[in-house]
C-alpha cells in the first residue's frame, strides 16, 4: 500500500512538471497581444496584423492569437490567409463556437466553397478527431491506459473477485483502443499529412514545376489542399477533388 501511495506521489509530481511545462507565463507577450487588440478595435487592421505576426515570430502561439489574426486578414479581405489562421486556431480550440462561425462565414464568402467529398469512414474519423486537440487526445489515451492498467493490477492484487473491477478493466481497455486509434489518426492528419491553403485570388496548378508548363487546373483563394512534395519554389499538391499539379510556393501557405 505504501509502495502504491509512493508511486502515486511521484506520478503526481512528474505530471505536474509535465503540465507546468505547457503553461508558461509571458507578461510582455501578453501586453503586446493586448496592444494589437487595441489597434484592431481602432480599425487599424494592417497594424494589428503586423503586431500579431510579430508575436508569432517570437515562437509562442495561442489559439486566440491565430483567431484574432484570422479576423485581421478577413477585414483586409485576404480570405485565404484568414482561413489559414482559423485552421491553425482550430487545431488548438476545435470546438470554439466563434471560431467555427468565423471559419464557416469566410468559407461562404469564397468564390468556390469547399466540397464535402470524403469517404464515410474518413468522415467519421475526421468528425471524431476534429472535436479534440492532439494534446487532449494524448491525455485521454494516457488516462485510459492508466485506468486499464490500474484496474487490471488491482484485480490481480485483490484476493476477492470483484465484477466491477473486471468490467472497469475491460471497458477502459476498449476505450483505450478506440481513443488510441483516433489519436493515431489525428497525428497522421495533422503531423504527417501537410495541408495548405491558397492565399492568392487564383493559383495555377501546372503539369510540371515550370513557369512554361501547361495549367492543369486552378485553385481559387481559400482552397484547402494536401501538399505531396516540395521542389524548390514549387509544391506538388492535391486538391479537394483529387486533381494533382504543381503550384508555386508563394501561392500557398502551409497550415
Partner 1 sequence: MKRASLAILLMTFFVYIEPAIAKDIQVDLQVSSNELEVGESTELYLVFNGGTDMPAPQLNDINGFSCQYLGPATQFSIVNGNYSKTVTHQYQLIPLKAGRFKIGPFSFSFNGDKFTTSAVEVTVNGQGQGSSSSGPATTQQPGKVRNDEELKDYVFLKLSAKKNKAYVNERIPVTIKLYVRQLQINGIQSLSLNGPGFVKEEFTKPKQYRETLNGFEYAVVEFNTNLYATNDGQIVIGPAEMNCSALVVYKQKQNRRHSFFNDPFFDNFFGGAQQQSLKLISDQLVTRILSLPQEGKPREFGGAVGNFALRVTGSPLKVKAGDPITLRMEVSGEGTFDSITSPELVNAENFKLYKPEVKNNSGIKSFDQVIIPQTPEATKTPKVKFVFFNPAAQKYITLEKEGIPVSVSPADEKGAKMVDSSPTRPFTSGKSEGLGRDIEFIKDDPGEIKTSGVYLYQNGIFWLVQFFPIIFVTLAFISNRQRARWSNDQTYARKLRAPKIARAGLKKAGALLRQNKTAEFYNTIFKTLQEYLGHRFGRPSAGMVSDIVEDLIASAGLDAGLAVKLRACFSDCDLARYASARIDQNMMSGTLKNLEEIIEYLEKNKS
User: Quick one: CA torsion of 234, 46, 56, 187, rounded to 10 degrees?
Assistant: -50
Instruction: Give the DSSP letter of residue 57.
Output: T
- Of the candidate spans 20-28, 195-203, 225-233, 247-255, the one that interacts with partner 1 by CB under 8 A turns out to be 20-28
C-beta of 171: minimal distance to partner 1 in Å? Answer: 16
- Of the candidate spans 122-130, 156-164, 194-202, 225-233, the one that interacts with partner 1 by CB under 8 A turns out to be 156-164
**CB closer to partner 1, 184 vs 230:** 184
Does position 105 interact with partner 1 (CB under 8 A)? The reply is: yes
Does position 18 interact with partner 1 (CB under 8 A)? The reply is: yes
Does position 139 interact with partner 1 (CB under 8 A)? The reply is: yes
d(CA 114, CA 222): 8
Instruction: Name residues whose C-beta falls within 8 Å of residue 250's C-beta, 6 or more positions apart in sequence.
Output: 200, 233
| Contact positions with partner 1 (CB under 8 A) in 174-193 | 187
Does position 161 interact with partner 1 (CB under 8 A)? The reply is: no
C-beta of 66: minimal distance to partner 1 in Å? Answer: 10
Place of cell 483502443: 177
- Of the candidate spans 58-66, 119-127, 192-200, 224-232, the one that interacts with partner 1 by CB under 8 A turns out to be 58-66
Question: Out of 1, 24, 121, 192, which residue is the one contacting partner 1 (CB under 8 A)?
Answer: 24
C-beta of 249: minimal distance to partner 1 in Å? Answer: 19
Task: Show the cell assigned to 13.
Answer: 509530481
Does position 34 interact with partner 1 (CB under 8 A)? The reply is: yes
| Coil, helix or strand at residue 217 | strand
Does position 102 interact with partner 1 (CB under 8 A)? The reply is: yes
Instruction: Name residues whose C-beta falls within 8 Å of residue 244's C-beta, 6 or more positions apart in sequence.
Output: 216, 228, 236, 237, 238
d(CA 108, CA 105): 5
C-beta of 81: minimal distance to partner 1 in Å? Answer: 14
| Contact positions with partner 1 (CB under 8 A) in 202-231 | 207-208, 210, 212-218
| Contact positions with partner 1 (CB under 8 A) in 108-127 | 108-113, 115-116
Does position 14 interact with partner 1 (CB under 8 A)? The reply is: yes
HEC secondary structure over 109-162: CCCCCCCCCCCHHHHHHHHHHHCCCHHHHHHHHHHHHHHHHHHHHHHHHCCCCC
Amino acid at each position: 500500500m505504501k509502495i502504491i501511495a509512493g508511486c502515486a506521489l511521484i506520478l503526481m509530481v512528474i505530471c505536474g512538471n509535465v503540465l507546468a511545462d505547457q503553461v508558461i507565463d509571458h507578461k510582455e507577450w501578453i501586453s503586446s497581444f493586448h496592444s494589437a487588440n487595441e489597434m484592431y478595435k481602432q480599425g487599424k487592421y494592417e497594424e494589428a496584423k503586423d503586431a500579431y505576426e510579430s508575436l508569432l515570430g517570437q515562437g509562442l502561439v495561442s489559439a486566440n492569437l491565430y483567431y484574432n489574426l484570422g479576423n485581421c486578414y478577413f477585414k483586409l479581405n485576404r480570405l485565404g490567409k484568414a482561413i489559414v489562421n482559423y485552421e491553425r486556431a482550430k487545431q488548438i480550440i476545435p470546438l470554439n463556437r466563434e471560431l467555427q462561425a468565423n471559419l464557416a462565414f469566410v468559407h461562404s464568402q469564397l468564390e468556390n466553397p469547399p466540397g464535402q467529398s470524403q469517404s464515410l469512414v474518413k468522415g467519421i474519423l475526421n468528425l471524431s478527431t476534429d472535436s479534440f486537440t492532439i494534446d487532449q487526445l494524448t491525455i485521454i489515451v494516457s488516462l485510459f491506459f492508466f485506468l486499464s492498467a490500474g484496474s487490471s493490477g488491482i484485480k490481480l492484487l485483490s484476493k476477492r473477485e470483484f465484477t466491477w473491477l473486471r468490467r472497469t478493466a475491460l471497458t477502459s481497455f476498449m476505450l483505450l483502443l478506440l481513443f488510441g486509434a483516433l489519436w493515431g489518426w489525428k497525428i497522421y492528419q495533422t503531423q504527417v499529412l501537410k495541408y495548405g491553403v491558397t492565399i492568392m485570388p487564383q493559383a495555377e496548378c501546372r503539369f510540371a514545376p515550370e513557369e512554361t508548363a501547361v495549367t492543369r487546373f486552378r485553385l481559387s483563394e481559400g482552397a484547402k489542399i494536401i501538399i505531396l512534395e516540395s521542389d524548390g519554389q514549387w509544391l506538388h499538391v492535391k486538391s479537394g477533388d483529387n486533381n494533382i499539379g504543381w503550384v508555386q510556393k508563394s501561392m500557398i501557405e502551409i497550415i
